[in-house]
Each structure stands twice: as structure tokens, then as C-alpha cells.
Chain A
Amino acid sequence: AQSVTQLGSHVSVSEGALVLLRCNYSSSVPPYLFWYVQYPNQGLQLLLKYTSAATLVKGINGFEAEFKKSETSFHLTKPSAHMSDAAEYFCAVSASKAAGNKLTFGGGTRVLVKP
């Protein structure tokens, strides 16, 4: 069974500082990988996805993630945090194209942005 581990349930960053959220996955086949963001009292919104094209994936709101097969990682970064980035972020994996929409989620990382 596949699994997703997000290191750090809470991350605090200063406005303007780098945001780095870590995600490691286990999958026996090349996976599809996603990052979702959840703002308070809302549903999830797709930030970006990796589907075996370019290993560096750019998403919305200035976020990007790099797929590293050797490290089984898909870490999310943003060069300069903004107050509006305060939210919870979820990494998710789908095992295969056929299982495309059946997602396994990590536990989430809540980001706090300090002025």
C-alpha cells in the first residue's frame, strides 16, 4: 500500500522568507503526486501536480515542487512567503494512471506566517 509522510505538522515562517514543506512517499510504481492547499473553513484546492513530465512543477500562487525519484520526495517551496499563504497544505499520491483519482493523503502541514 502506498503512503505519504509530511514532515512537520506545523511550520512557522516570517513574511518574505522561504517556505519549504517536505513530502516523502512510498509507491511501488512511478506515482502521480499532488499538493493541495486548504484555507480555513474551506475545501481543498489544487496547487500543483506531477504526472511524469518535467520533474520541476510550477503551481499557482508562486509555489513549485520538485520530484526526486531517488529520494522518493516531492517537496513544496515558495521563495517568499506572504501572509495569504497561511493555510494547511496536503501532499497526496496516486499509484498509477488507472487509479488516477484515488488519492492517498499525507497528514498535512499547517503554515503560520509571521509579520
Chain B
Amino acid sequence: NAGVTQTPKFQVLKTGQSMTLQCAQDMNHEYMSWYRQDPGMGLRLIHYSVGAGITDQGEVPNGYNVSRSTTEDFPLRLLSAAPSQTSVYFCASSLQVIDPYEQYFGPGTRLTVT
């Protein structure tokens, strides 16, 4: 199993540009989520999905969209990039929706918005 994969690893955007961060998992996990990591703030939940076709907002959803058309994929879209979205983005997946099952994290995407 490849686990959780993310592409790209690095990305530089100009303010106002849009892009999609890709996330895929091959473990047949129901639950997938996106976090952003900023220095001193830990990880903050952006959006999450409890299964194909179902998504919901996390703590910091503004400026981001998600969709979940398949169990495997959970892309994160930046609609109009802003410097405040400069961060490291992590995708995570977990076997079940409820119960505190272990979450598996991808290697991250480092995004810089100029």
C-alpha cells in the first residue's frame, strides 16, 4: 500500500491564482480530512469527509473547497489564493468515521502564496 499520497510537494502561487491540492489513499478508509500547519499553531482542520459524496467544514474552511467523488480521492481547492494561505497542508485518512481510530497522514504540500 502507498498509504496517503499528496501532490504536489511544493507549490508557489501568486495572489488570486487558484489550484488544487491532490490527496489519495489506497486503504479503503471512510474518513479523510485536510489540515493546515502553521508555526506555533499546530494543525487546524480545514474540511473533512465521512464518505464519498459527504463533506463538511472544519475549523478554518474559508477560501477552500473540497469534494469527495470517490472513496480514494479528496482534493482541496484554493479558489483565489491569498498570502494568508501560505502554509503546509496535510491530508489524513482513517478507517472509521467514529471512534478515535489512528489517522494516517500524507507527507504534506508546502504552499507559498506571493
Contact = CB atoms under 8 A, between A and B. Distances in A.
Interface stretch (B11-19, B74-82, B96-104): B96-104
A107 B100 CA distance: 20
Interface in B66-95: 90, 92, 94
Interface string B31-44: 10101000011111
Nearest to B33: A101
A102 B105 contact: no
A107 B33 contact: no
Contacts, number: 71
28 contacts: A6-B42, A34-B100, A41-B107, A42-B108, A43-B4, A43-B90, A43-B92, A43-B105, A43-B108, A44-B92, A46-B102, A90-B42, A90-B43, A97-B100, A100-B98, A100-B99, A101-B48, A101-B97, A101-B98, A101-B100, A102-B33, A102-B45, A105-B43, A106-B42, A107-B40, A107-B41, A107-B42, A108-B42
